[in-house]
Chains A and B, each alone.
Chain A
Amino acid sequence: MYKQTEDRRSFLKKMAILSAVTTATAMFPGILFAEEQTKSLPAGDLEWKKAPCRFCGVGCGVKVGIENGKAVAVKGDPNSTVNKGLCCVKGYHAVISMYGKDRLTKPLVKKNGKYVETSMKEALDLVASKLKETRDQYGKDSVSIYGSGQWTIPDGYVASKLFKGCLSTNNVEANARLCMAGAVTGFVTSFGMDEPMGCYEDIDHADVFVLWGNNMAEMHPVLFSRMLDQKYKRNAVIIDFATRTTRTSVAANKSILFQPQTDLAVANAICHEILRNGWENKDFIEQNCNLNKGLTNIGYGLEDKFKFKDKPEPISFEDYRKFLEDYSPEKVEKYSGVSAKDIKYMASLYGDPNKKVTSFWCMGMNQHTRATWINNLVYNIHLLTGKISTPGNSPFSLTGQPSACGTVREVGTLTHKLPKGVVMNKKSREFAAKIWGVPESNIPPKPTYDTVEMFRALDRGDIRFMWIQVTNPMVSLPHANRYTEGAKKEGRFVVVSDIYPTPTTDVADVILPSAMWVEREGLFGNSERRTQYWKKMVEPPGECMSDTWQIIEVARRLGFNEQFPYKEETHVAEIYNEYRQFHDNKKHNMAPLEVLEKEAGMQWPYVDGKPTKWRYNSKYDPACTKEGFDFYGKPEGKAIIWQRPYEAPAEVPTKEYPFWLNTGRVLEHWHTGSMTRRIPVLHRAMPHAYVEINPVDAKRLGITDGDMVLLTSKRGQLKMPALINGRGLPPVGQVFTPFFDENMLVNKLTLDSYDPISREPDYKKCAVRVEKA
């Protein structure tokens, strides 16, 4: 009966809308309504529900079409300001990723080398008892959890609460360490607070876009399309500054190639040129910046138990000017491969007071043995010219995972982090302990292992129990051989929660089937500080359970009922409301769930019912305490200009290994491809990995397109087909290969060197030999 009235009501409502739209169309021919565009689709009986896209960090709003309890279609949400109704090919086919034939639907337990199906109850019992047993036998820091930026906010929150708050270990890490850590330390060292000051709306205002090692046409296609729009409609200029020629280069106004690692020198050269011409914004620097230098020759983190701590020291502007003397465009030209003319051209774009400049970057700068430095250096350019925190002027670090910001960076699922503040800080510990309902002494004051070190510890046996959720480290870790072997060692207990079998589930002792994306309720946070909420839309298959609920179940089995009192029906709301208390201040307030339910996402800081689009600028940011700019993360409200030199990468080509190996992604596949490869359209478009070789090198080595090529590094060998003049073109002496293909696992070759400050590995530079197989 109720349903009937409900139907009648919604029918009448539709009628009311329809008549209003018809009237409006009669009055203003050509008028368009977002909702109408939505309705013009061949919907049948589809019911469209909103969610953020499952894949990258852009955070497109999508609408998922549901029919008979199955997700059958996706379209861009025209109400979302992120993508304005457009998706990329991955987003459009996202729902298919839930229906792969080999979906894990039952828990599997390894018995005598074979996986045996069991019930969820038994599997969780086993996980809890093994965790307890390991902890009792080997100590608090012998158990760990490893997640990713694909964790929803509640997933990450309960993981941190259980491990840091209840189990008293800081062994909480996430894939974001391999992806965003350099951006985080870049922000924190320059501004004292994580995450971008600007937002995607900068694209609509900027006159110039500089892409720092960022193939946006393939990796952030929706934002790239928004940029192209501006190129054709407003004559905005796109500069692609990269190490190889890609789809982005051909669409850009200008493509500038540099030699790996020399972006450090070029960024300094741009600053040199800005100062030489007097293009710096003196008032801005005077009022809003301090200058620092840090340690140099900081190493590469290749050794086990590597330690490093930077020592910032104030310097004067004259010191800085003097430091830059080594970076004249003419000097930098010699080793960067970028002509002095091109460096001067880039400097002139940044230096022109009448041009608004937005810089974009992602893995090129973050997966870099000097990730923190290069982030600092790009901020320097924006700070010297005062082009920051105003519409169109934005140094913008993009993300690759849907909630790298929302979960890993904001909830803080990294060894040193708490939802607010860091474990080293007593006040932060007290604050967290109070909200979590645990004694302050529970939270250890010392960070333990970063991601690479965590897997090294598992290999060494310092860690004995690891729970891996929603990521695929045996494909995504650099030097993956060592860590795969390490995880398989006797006396290690590895639990993997995932939706499909992967090389990571292959090393698991227990495999827990997870509910993914719209099979459960959740929240993601994208790169522009936008939090997005979605409801459960379809039932997960078999015994699949959300990662949040898996952790809660285990926590209760460990006796933490009091800390995990949530009800199954309302747990996401309860957890989110609890979590919001951490950020209850003008600098980070998050929108309440009621608002997120209605809107296609909302940006934080959300103050007085309004999102903040540009932080640190009193015109837009209510947290500012002084007129103009206030970089309130740092003392005196002043951002830091860092003196950071060029330093060579950890491994360079030699006679034996004469090629640079660069790795990355492709448009069609997301991360390790465990979802996108199960989407037939995407798999057919990109069935396997390949190695891009410059035609000059190929000719010399007698390799033609499609030939099998043997790549050898100090760490391993791999055969893959050559791609010559395909979608990317590396310069002579360099090769590129995508990392998604578990059957051609390029991370067996990559080097596990990392940036000592952020501890993020460099996947973009190592040396290989290339031969025809």
Chain B
Amino acid sequence: MKRLFILLFFALLIIAAAMIVANSLRATNEDAYTPIIEPVDDEYTILPKEQGVFERAKYATDYENLPYDIPGERDLSDYYKTQAYHGAPPYVPHPVSDDRNIGDGQCLQCHQNGGFVVIYDAYAPVTPHPEKVNCRQCHVTKETNSLFKASNYERLEAPSIGNKALVSSPPVIPHQLQLHENCLACHAGPSAPKEIRVTHPERVNCRQCHVVNNLEVVPVPDFTRKSE
């Protein structure tokens, strides 16, 4: 009789154990799942035009507190002189040390964050696209002032400053955004041409007020209703 009880007891134990294991298995099965949402390719989750606006935002308060260094200022005509036409990549107006280099870190050491360069007595302009490291693909040096042959090319002039609709309204962005998504790079800090240096870098969300006026490839006529 005693033996029977012991056997029964063990049998019960085994059944209980089996049940616990089965239950927990079922429970884990419940929690095990395959997400039904397909993961989105990360490459596409960036918005270059939008992201750029905020790229240097973390320096905004620094920009705000920087004093103006009047003698070291650059003006807009200095800047446009380095471009063949409005929007063209500026040439490199200073000698470069290593001609075998694509640019990369060598350019970025001055042009990523800017700063005063004693030998040129100027502030290094900040690049709006530091992620493009083959700098010299577009930015070439100037080795001579002479021409091979004269050109009839008519330069596309940059728009004058003050592109505003009303005396009080924020100027529009008169240039394409491609490669120029980062507003603060060129419009804030001591290297920014003084005419286009923003008075309020701390406001960061630039495109809240400043909209592009030539997003379209062809000029946009005024709004007209499509009559049916």
Residues on A lying within 8 angstroms of B by beta carbon are 41-44, 46, 65, 72-75, 86-89, 92-93, 95-96, 101-102, 217, 221-222, 224-225, 228-229, 232-233, 245-247, 249-251, 259, 330, 333-335, 337, 501, 667-668, 677-687, 694-696, 725-729, 731-732, 742-743
Contact = CB atoms under 8 A, between A and B. Distances in A.
Given A250-B54, A687-B220, A731 B61 contact: no
B211 interface: yes
Contacts of B35: 333-334, 337
B49 interface: yes
Contact of B169 (A73, A233, A725): A73
Contacts of B167: 41-44, 46, 65, 72-73
A92 B48 contact: no
A228 B54 CA distance: 10
A668 B211 contact: yes
B118 to A, nearest CB: 30
A233 B168 CA distance: 28
Count class of interface residues, chain B = 35 or more
A89 B60 contact: no
A75 B168 contact: yes
B65 to A, nearest CB: 12
29 contacts: A41-B168, A44-B167, A65-B167, A92-B170, A93-B166, A102-B225, A221-B205, A224-B208, A225-B204, A225-B208, A228-B205, A229-B202, A233-B61, A245-B45, A247-B47, A251-B53, A251-B57, A259-B37, A330-B33, A333-B33, A335-B36, A337-B35, A667-B208, A679-B165, A681-B165, A684-B211, A687-B220, A725-B44, A729-B45
A334 B33 contact: yes
Given A93-B165, A684-B215, A732-B40, 12 more contacts: A75-B168, A89-B209, A229-B204, A232-B61, A334-B36, A335-B36, A668-B211, A680-B165, A683-B223, A685-B211, A696-B41, A732-B38
Contacts of A250: 46-47, 50-51, 53-54
Contacts of B204: 225, 228-229, 232, 251
Contact of A72 (B166, B172, B205, B208): B166
B177 to A, nearest CB: 11
B100 to A, nearest CB: 35
A251 B54 contact: yes
B213 interface: yes
B49 A727 contact: yes
Nearest to A742: B225
B99 interface: no
Contacts of B60: 232
Residue from B41, B57, B215, B225 with most neighbouring chain A CB atoms (10 Å): B225
B98 interface: no
A725 B33 CA distance: 32
Contacts of B165: 93, 96, 679-681
A727 B213 contact: no
A731 B49 contact: no
B58 interface: yes
Interface in B15-63: 31, 33, 35-38, 40-41, 44-51, 53-54, 57-58, 60-61
A145 B130 CA distance: 58
Nearest to B215: A685
B81 interface: no
Given A330-B31, A680-B222, A685-B172, A725 B40 contact: no
B80 to A, nearest CB: 23
B208 A696 contact: no
Residue from B37, B53, B204, B208 with most neighbouring chain A CB atoms (10 Å): B208
B154 interface: no
A35 to B, nearest CB: 15
B216 interface: yes
A504 to B, nearest CB: 12
Contacts of A695: 44
B207 interface: yes
A93 B169 contact: yes
B212 interface: yes
A435 B222 CA distance: 48
A769 B210 CA distance: 35
A214 B54 CA distance: 19
B169 A74 contact: yes
A727 B211 CA distance: 13
Contacts of B222: 101, 678, 680, 683
Contacts of B203: 86, 225
Nearest to A41: B168
A501 B165 CA distance: 24
Interface string B186-222: 0000000000000000111101111111111000101
Contacts of A668: 211
B94 interface: no
Given A96-B166, A247-B50, A250-B54, A684 B214 contact: yes
B226 interface: yes
A681 B172 contact: yes
A222 B208 contact: yes
A86 B33 CA distance: 49
Contacts of B46: 250
A677 B168 contact: no
B185 to A, nearest CB: 16
Contacts of B172: 681, 684-685
Contacts of A678: 222-223
A259 B37 CA distance: 8
Contacts of B33: 330, 333-334
Contacts of A732: 38, 40
Contacts of B214: 684
Nearest to B55: A250
Contact of A224 (B61, B205, B212, B213): B205
Contact of B213 (A41, A233, A251, A684): A684
A136 to B, nearest CB: 35
A725 B225 contact: no
B155 to A, nearest CB: 24
A53 B203 CA distance: 20
A26 B222 CA distance: 49
Nearest to B170: A92
Contacts of B47: 245-247, 249-250, 725-729
Contacts of A685: 172, 211-213, 215
Nearest to A733: B38
A732 B38 CA distance: 8
Nearest to A48: B168
A92 B49 contact: no
A93 B211 CA distance: 11
Interface in B135-154: none
B225 A501 contact: yes
Contacts of B208: 88-89, 217, 221-222, 224-225, 667
Interface string B154-192: 000000000001111110100000000000000000000
Residue from B47, B209, B222 with most neighbouring chain A CB atoms (10 Å): B209
Contacts of A247: 47, 50, 53, 207
Residue from B51, B165, B216 with most neighbouring chain A CB atoms (10 Å): B165
B168 A65 contact: yes
A259 B166 CA distance: 43
B53 to A, nearest CB: 8
Contacts of A684: 172, 211, 213-216, 220
Given A89-B170, A93-B169, A217-B205, A337 B37 contact: yes
A716 B54 CA distance: 39
Interface in B93-107: none
A251 to B, nearest CB: 5
A39 B19 CA distance: 82
Contacts of B215: 684-686
Contacts of A222: 208
B216 A687 contact: yes
B40 A696 contact: yes
